[in-house]
Amino acid sequence: MSSQQLERELNHAREMGRWLSDDELEQLEHEQRLIRQEQAKESQRRLKLGLFTVVCVLIPPLWPVALGLSLYLLFPQTFRRLLWFAGGSVLLLALLAAGVSLTVVSLLWMLIS
């Protein structure tokens, strides 16, 4: 083991109040590795979305897409909630419009008959 790794283990043991077993150390390293991988994936995804946003800004017909992507990059959780709300609203309006249409058609049918 390297001296840096031993120092890290010593500091961690001081924080925990005890030495960790080999299994616990492996589990901790595995969790840290997963976290780093997830952060790298998120960083990669944000970079791709950022580049796509720049392309959308340069092409005027895609400005609404660029605005949406920019909002998503700046406020990901709020934007997701807004999308769920907008989707639910559109679905509700479609159901309401279908109900009104069916009511009007049935009234017209009754008047014709």
pLDDT digits (tens, 9 = 90+) for 61-71: 888 888 888 88
Give phi and psi for 17, each to the nearest 5.
Answer: 85, 5
| pLDDT one-digit tens code per residue, 1-43 | 678 877 877 777 777 777 767 787 788 889 989 999 999 998 9
Please identify which residue in the block is written with the tokens 């946003």: 53
The pLDDT assigned to 93 comes to: 95
pLDDT of the residue at 36? 95
- Region 78-86: mean pLDDT is 90
pLDDT value for 79: 87
Half-sphere exposure for 101 (CA within 13 Å, toward CB): 6
Q: What pLDDT is stored for residue 34 in this prediction? A: 95
